[in-house]
Structure 1
Amino acid sequence: MKLMSIKLAIIYYSSTGTNHQLAQWAADAAKATGAEVKVLKVPELAPEAAIESNPAWKAHMEATADINTVSLDDLEWADAIIFSVPTRFGNLPAQMKQFLDTTGGLWFHGKLTNKVVSAMSSASNAHGGQEQTILSLYTTMYHWGAIVVAPGYSDPSIFAAGGNPYGTSVTVNQEGKMIEDVRGAVEHQAKRVVTVAEWVKKGMK
């Protein structure tokens, strides 16, 4: 049965490409369900000197220059939102946190209530803060009054990806390569978000 039209915003921050790739996999899976999808990046706050000093960072920034930067209008437009971010000391990157801190006006007017949300993350080792980063992001979502849709253990792909019930997470080695095979888990998470958003949208009508 074809899903009703769901508007999904996939909002990410990525310095060298991991979370951009997770976002793209999620977008492909959501589009396959018939969802209308926007892949959006948050503004980069790092100084140019820092970016220039890391060839992989600079190359990724140039390669994704054509991806639209997220706006508050995108949040209002979306029925559902998937976030993808690397961990920074077990917390959100400043780039994502800065954007979330601009949502007070939408929150005040109830524009973020009942948005269906989920999150993904990455770190350079298996216990590098991925779970805590996702939970930190969900704290903001609870204040929004959003509906958090975690994958739990709802599909075998989650176990293959390392078994994070809060959201797909991946370990990235020093060469920038993903250690776990997480694509299936990302695709399942995206489809689950679209499905739950459909239930919510139907129920609200």
Structure 2
Amino acid sequence: MKILIPFYSMYGHTYQMAEAVAQGAEEIDEAEVNLRRIPETISEDVLAESGALEAQEEFSNIPECTLNDLEEADAIIFGTPTRYGNMAGQMRQFLDTTGGLWQKGAFIGKVGSVFVSTATQHGGQESTILNFHTTLLHLGMVIVGLPYSFEGQMRLDEVTGGSPYGATTIAGGDGTREPSNNELEAARFQGKHVAEVTAQLVK
């Protein structure tokens, strides 16, 4: 059972969440879990000016995602930062190359799930996942979210990401906030939950 976690991360927040998702999925014995980077589309000069190039060095050793990776996976858990309430352009551009796989029905019946990062608490955490779900439905995927059995999404004692749609983190306006323990626990829960559901479907 192959669990693929393709993520785009500019400053590392989505990458940290992706690692937690992978940790959760790996708790299921039969799961083979792979992290993959979504290809960058911004020039190195622009990335360097914004400080992102240095941040991305932390996960530059992770292989870039390929169409073959998508086709071979039984479940795909996508991670993206939010851009104006939707997925990052890098993720959109990559998904726009999957027409051949869509045409032959390669995604039909696979499990699909999404986790995201935003700058602020109300910066599109839910809309980004819901908008992403539209693409997954067009591909024919079976959508799995973050059920309320993860009680951390009910917390009121701290500012935290997370909703029934998927795990989320808040990076802060200047990007200095790191994912909280609760947000990382949500990501681990989602990874394990997706792997459990997938195990039932591939039997």
Superposed pair shares fold, TM > 0.5: yes
* Secondary structure of residue in 2 paired with 1:85: strand
State the alpha-carbon separation in 1 of the partners of residues 171 and 105 from structure 2.
Answer: 38
Q: Which has the higher contact order (CA 8 A, sep 6+)?
A: 2
State the alpha-carbon separation in 2 of the partners of residues 175 and 191 from structure 1.
Answer: 27
* Secondary structure of residue in 1 paired with 2:91: helix
Q: Which residue of 2 aligns with 1:41?
A: 37
Give the number of equivalent residue pairs: 196
Matched, 1:65 2:64: no
Kindly indicate whether the alpha-carbon contact (under 8 Å) linking 2:81 and 2:87 is maintained by their aligned counterparts in 1.
Answer: yes
Cα RMSD between the aligned structures?
1.4
CA offset at residue 67 of structure 1?
Answer: 0.6
Q: Which residue of 2 aligns with 1:133?
A: 128
Where does structure 1 lack aligned partners over 5 or more consecutive residues?
A: 1-5
Q: Which residue of 1 aligns with 2:169?
A: 170
Deviations 1:69-91 (A, max 9, x none): 00010011100010111100001
Q: Which residue of 2 aligns with 1:24?
A: 19
Deviations 1:65-118 (A, max 9, x none): 211000010011100010111100001111000110011111110111011011
Letter of the aligned partner of 2:187 in structure 1? V
CA offset at residue 178 of structure 1?
Answer: 3.0
Kindly indicate whether the alpha-carbon contact (under 8 Å) linking 1:114 and 1:145 is maintained by their aligned counterparts in 2.
Answer: yes
State the alpha-carbon separation in 2 of the partners of residues 65 and 179 from structure 1.
Answer: 20
CA offset at residue 48 of structure 1?
Answer: 1.9
TM-score by length of 1: 0.91
Deviations 1:153-199 (A, max 9, x none): 12213324444111111111225223643111111111110011111
Q: Percent identity?
A: 38
Kindly indicate whether the alpha-carbon contact (under 8 Å) linking 2:162 and 2:183 is maintained by their aligned counterparts in 1.
Answer: no
TM-score by length of 2: 0.92
Where does structure 2 lack aligned partners over 5 or more consecutive residues?
A: none
State the alpha-carbon separation in 2 of the partners of residues 43 and 162 from structure 1.
Answer: 26
* Secondary structure of residue in 1 paired with 2:146: coil
